[in-house]
Amino acid sequence: MMRPVLTAGWLLLATAGFAQSPPMSAPEAPADTNPSVGSMAAADFVRKVAVSDQLEIASSRIAMERGSPDQQAFAKQMIESHEKIVADLKRLVSVEKIPVELPVEFDKADETRLDKLKSVEAAKFIAEYTTLQVTKHRNALALFERYAKDGDNMNLKAWARRMLPAIRHDLAAAEKLPRS
């Protein structure tokens, strides 16, 4: 008689313990079908766009003073365009309640790039500014394409997608700037 009581006691204890266990979750989908794999966080995207736009605006202000006439025209367009992008981005961050602080200072690498643009001799400025603009626009295009495809915020993804034609246009214009 003692044996059935012990068995029943263990069974009751095991059942009670199982009932208190957290529920088992469904098995995860394979990596290639999981939509969050490789997704880019909204805060990371916003931060990268803000930093890039700050550099675009600051370098273009320098070009307004030191650049060739073609570069000055391009720089004016970049300042206007990127100030609008920053305003749109701030609005989206607010509306979407994205938890991110937009950077207000340049990182060391960007500060060095700007210092170089300010101090490089006039003959080399043209090549330096053009190279910087082409590089930054290629990087921006890749960033926006990635977020438009893999971003985690639907409205920000739609905005990134809408920005792609303008970025491609600006990249093409930057590639046509004089290099010497």
Taking only the tens place, the pLDDT of each residue in 76-93 is 999 999 999 999 999 999
Is the pLDDT reported for residue 156 higher than 50?
Answer: yes
The CATH class for the domain spanning 39-97+108-175 reads mainly alpha
What residues pair up with 151 in beta bridges, in sequence order? Answer: 40
Mean pLDDT, the chain, whole residue set? 83
Residue 154 is which amino acid?
M
Listed range (9-18, 95-104, 131-140, 154-163) with the worst mean pLDDT: 9-18
Confidence label for 38 from pLDDT (cuts 50, 70 and 90): low
Q: CA nearest 64: which of 44, 49, 79, 82? A: 79
Distance CA 43, CA 47 (A): 6
The token duo for 4 is: 């059935």
Distance CA 4, CA 9 (A): 8
Q: Where are the domains of the chain?
A: 39-97+108-175
33 versus 173: the higher-pLDDT residue is: 173
Distance CA 131, CA 179 (A): 8
Buried b (16+ CB within 10 A) or exposed e, 73-105: ebbeebbebbeebbeebeebbeeeebeeeeeee
